[in-house]
Structure 1
Amino acid sequence: MGRAVGVMTATVGMLSFPFPMALARLDSGEIRESKMLVQKLRLQYGWSQQQLAELSGLSVRTIQRIERGMPASTETLKSLASIFEIDFNQLSSEQPDMNSNDTARGLKHSPEEMLAFAHVRKLKAFYKQLMTYVVVIGAMVIANMFYMPHAWAGWKYLPNWWVAWPALIWGFSLLVWASALFDVLPFLGPDWEKRQVEKRLGRPL
């Protein structure tokens, strides 16, 4: 009896196997097309993945997954379609008109204004973190002067500036944050990404 059930299960599995595979092949073309279109539109607007995520209210990881060809929910695609000023169906079916204003954006502010607001929010967060760094490290320097200012090195006492370690580690993270925030390192940004795609295609996007 158990063997018969096993044979029947295997038979059903073999019969049903091509069906999901066919669906996967059917959907893969749409997913791939949606992926290419989202990435192309983003580059044509000159936005980074971070900027597109801020405008659409999505996470950066969601944008990355879509551009890698992974499926997205209907609400996610609608959010992207609204930002790109295209119809929802155009996102996976046909090329949109980049100069079209027929579809309402549904946004209170323009993308430039929203990016400016987002940048100011980042600046505010950075300066808050910088002020916290100055206050905390300053307090730790004072504590270092009174608590274990010297350490025994085996033959004599040497200055023990243990506060240097948290100051350096925390300061390095702030330096990396500042370099990205103030575009100190412009390479690998959206402009560079767009140039590389156009170079590969041999034509402008």
Structure 2
Amino acid sequence: MGVIMEMNYNEDEKYLLAKKKVENIKGFYGNLTSYILVNVILIIVNLSTSPNHLWFYWPLLWWGVGVLIHGLKVFELLPSLGKDWEEKKIKELMEKEKNNKNKWQ
């Protein structure tokens, strides 16, 4: 089980976590929608202005990689950037801060 399962959250904290998750999903779909719309426009512009020199695939490819990584992160399919990693890092930073405060007391 991940770190998130070990923590006991009250209802307000669970709500805030769920709200953040929904905002992240919404952000991903906004990114995906922009990606599709802008790239359709770029394809039309490229094909209508310089059909002999195709360049539209570069933004399509690189932005597509970004959208893919964003989606993997949001839907927690990329283990190194998932919720467990976030929770471990938060716990580590909190412990480090606690140790720093204790050191000066």
Normalised to the residue count of structure 1, the TM-score between the two structures is: 0.36
Gaps of 5+ in 2: 89-105
Equivalent runs, 1:117-128 vs 2, <5 Å: 117-128=19-30
TM-align CA RMSD: 3.1
Question: Which structure is larger by alpha-carbon Rg, 1 or 2?
Answer: 1
Count of aligned positions = 85
Instruction: Report 1 or 2 for greater relative contact order, CA contacts < 8 Å, sequence distance ≥ 6.
Output: 2
2:44 maps to 1:45? no
| 5+ long unaligned stretches in structure 1 | 1-40, 47-83, 85-104, 151-159, 194-205
Partner residue of 1:110?
12
Q: Which residue of 1 aligns with 2:62?
A: 169
Question: Residues 109-165 of structure 1, C-alpha deviation per residue, up to 9 Å, x if partnerless?
Answer: 521111110111111111111111111100111111111111xxxxxxxxx220000
- What secondary structure does 1:110 align onto? helix
Partner of 1:186: 79
SS at match of 1:184: coil
Which of residues 41, 45, 64 is equivalent to 1:143?
45
Q: Share of identical aligned residues, percent?
A: 29
- In the alignment, residue 144 of structure 1 is paired with which amino acid? N
Q: Distance in 2 between matches of 1:42 and 1:134?
A: 34
Q: Which has the higher helix share?
A: 2
